[in-house]
């Protein structure tokens, strides 16, 4: 199997796990469930992952990497246009995927959030200075918490506001932190 096919199977397996996590508890998901949902052979699963836990870690790694490379630097940018553009993508993606996100939150988000938090912390610790100040150490956490809390409330309120209205609301808050 070439790398492209292997990457495709890996991605299908990860996406299958996420879909299954909207339907049932992580602890009730089996490898058989995943390969059936992903429409891949069992050997493809084991070629890419040793366990279901490793699939979840891979998803958390990719998400943490994306947050650390794309998202967290945007929260500290002075370029208002770039921040606004990024926040638009953030709220727009929520508006497209909120059902799946909300379902995962309800059943399995604590587990995923814990794994993701560990991955983000590992990656952030590697880039922090030897003696970080309070803002460097905690500023990004506060900003993420604000966005997470606001987006959760937005979903709970059935997203009555547009992504643009959400951006107008959170921009001054993020800039003030």
- pLDDT tens, residue by residue, 126-166: 666 677 788 777 877 888 888 888 888 888 888 899 989 99
Cα–Cα distance measured from residue 103 to residue 156, given in angstroms and rounded to the nearest whole number? 12
Cβ-proximal residues to 76 (8 Å cutoff; 6+ apart), any chain: 139, 140
Better-scored residue on pLDDT, 98 or 141: 141
* Half-sphere exposure (Cβ direction) of 148: Cα atoms closer than 13 Å: 13
59 band by pLDDT with thresholds 50, 70 and 90: confident
User: Residues 149, 92: contact at Cβ < 8 Å?
Assistant: no
Q: What ranges in the chain are assigned the alpha helix state H?
A: 3-21, 31-38, 42-48, 52-66, 72-75, 80-127, 134-156, 163-176
Residue whose structure tokens are 């959760």: 152
129 SS3 class: coil
Residue whose structure tokens are 């921040």: 83
Cα–Cα distance measured from residue 138 to residue 152, given in angstroms and rounded to the nearest whole number? 21
133 SS3 class: coil
* Half-sphere exposure (Cβ direction) of 49: Cα atoms closer than 13 Å: 23
| Percent of the chain whose predicted confidence (pLDDT) is above 70 | 84
Note the pLDDT of residue 165. Answer: 94
């Amino acid at each position: 199997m070439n790398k492209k096919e292997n990457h495709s199977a890996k991605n299908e397996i990860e996406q299958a796990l996420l879909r299954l996590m909207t339907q049932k508890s992580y602890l009730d998901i089996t490898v058989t469930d995943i390969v059936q949902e992903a429409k891949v052979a069992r050997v493809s699963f084991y070629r890419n992952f040793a366990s279901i836990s490793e699939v979840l870690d891979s998803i958390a790694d990719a998400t943490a990497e994306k947050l650390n490379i794309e998202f967290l630097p945007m929260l500290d940018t002075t370029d208002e246009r770039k921040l606004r553009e990024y926040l638009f993508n953030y709220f727009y993606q929520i508006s497209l995927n909120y059902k799946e996100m909300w379902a995962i939150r309800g059943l399995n988000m604590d587990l995923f959030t814990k794994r993701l938090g560990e991955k983000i912390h590992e990656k952030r610790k590697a880039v922090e200075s030897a003696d970080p100040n309070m803002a460097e150490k905690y500023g990004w956490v506060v900003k993420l918490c604000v966005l997470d809390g606001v987006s959760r409330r937005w979903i709970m309120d059935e997203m009555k506001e547009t992504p643009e209205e959400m951006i107008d609301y959170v921009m001054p808050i993020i800039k003030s932190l």
